[in-house]
Structure 1
């Protein structure tokens, strides 16, 4: 299984200038390669190399750096075409899709640049790297990271690493090939219901409430709006300092939740049944205008539900799902994706499905058997049962019986 490990470089002033100039140079050249690719109809990598390789060498970058720059551009167009084909950029003729198709891809000056073992070497004992730059190869560049990251890097690093610049600091993101644990036969399944009020509810009884995280997001949103409104130099400096702080906080929260769920499943020799939420952003209800009284003011008694679009787009449900998946694979815990349709309306006891079963966000009352339960807890048990059905269906042989 491939994972990435991030370490921070600690260069001196001269090394920092060389790394910064290198990223800007290769990304400027990547923009030029992208323009050439766009003009030639985005040819295959081999054809694109014939159009650009000699010029890249003439502009002073090494052979390996030129190869990686060309490959980076071709991979970017491959990803763009995949997103267009999947419909992620809208329907044919939409403004967003026309904008993506009508101009070449542009690379930021600090965009990542791949390095292979010919351009980058690691000295694990000294915790330094030797790395190619446009000013020549610089050696003894110190790096640092968490103890777990450094251990994984030393034992499992394979393949390329990416150099990136973020907020004036330089990082290397290394690819590591970590062996997966052998998957065991589960005794049962832990259903995991994802949500906004409760980030994750497991059928084991664990519930990660989202109140604290949502309150943190609202506070950060209000602070950003306040600073943006000031438009002073100090306000802009504060905004830059706080950039990605919310993202890091949410990522850490998702790591903690995923680790606990996987540990509980491993302890009980269970699998994990996770609801597949693909396409949830396209299923968000559009905002409705509030009803008004005769005076033209909104009526508090008949206000519609609060629009979910902003809330759902800031909810990192896909990230939590990815964390659960890779942590389960590392621990050997079976994980299956199940259809979440009507899981909030189905009774985990009798299987009765009715819209009226879901009395409120938190309350479930079955109209068939009269069971009263927490709605998310009930849904997690429904997902656990569906996980067992999916696992058993995949385990059953589809081969015809021997006559």
Structure 2
């Protein structure tokens, strides 16, 4: 837990899931800079009496500090919004003090103040600015915030092209603010997201199938080489009653499982709402509208009852909200073991250097290499 001190009070904040060993803070200098600007420390205070929308608030630091103004938070992250709920409770805010929306929900009809924490994905920023721009008016205050390393010429070009004239502040504690003036008659064109692409002809049962990728999803417009290896070396699916595509992304792994056996029930799980939207579009377009599947926004397998899964297919992330760490993968492996029936299997694809085999042997007591190439390895672990 760490304390954010502002003119609005002091707030004890955590990331999600809470871990006392987590070395990362739930806020940074960009959050501080933005809150100082709103409070008028560097200029006049910003009028927050209208509809305040906060896009990309990573762990809820901004909306927790602004809860008295009843802001709207728009986030792609299930984990980020769980952290927001916990931080609001800890701050003593009312349950309805902040309206939590995902990046797939319809934004408010009118936005008077738009605050943007610059995301890692430029594509996600582009998509969300397109979605929000029609809700702005000529007096809307638009302020972006990010660390200097997060704000590039291409970032500013997006604000300028989609919203209107844009400038930046001086840097403070390696953070910077972005100011845009809405140009209502701006010709911005159509939102280029989501995108579709056909799978190559050498990936088994899903060869040639068309994938839908929403902005911000890993490899939203192409097949990554790790997934390509995985698709070429999937385990037999027939007879597996319940299969989980864990960290599903665009959902091509779960789709391959579903097409392999029409009796198999597939659950797609991801913490990204953009990823789930991709999987929800890709699946019926290829498996048919009558075929049913479940789509869960969750922290790994935390929402899956123990002992109910026959096979977990997993391409785990090796970073979480800019932090390079194996914590997410470790939670996925632990959750998978709990959710699997006895004799159930976890299949994992990952970069060789990540050493997932060590963790899997420690957890399952066994692990074998099912396939490999110079960069990636597919591993199989069985729950005894």
After TM superposition, the score normalised by the length of structure 2 is 0.26
More RCO (CA 8 Å, sep 6+): 1
When you count helix as a share of all residues, which structure comes out higher? 1
Q: Could you say which structure has the larger radius of gyration?
A: 1
When you count strand as a share of all residues, which structure comes out higher? 2
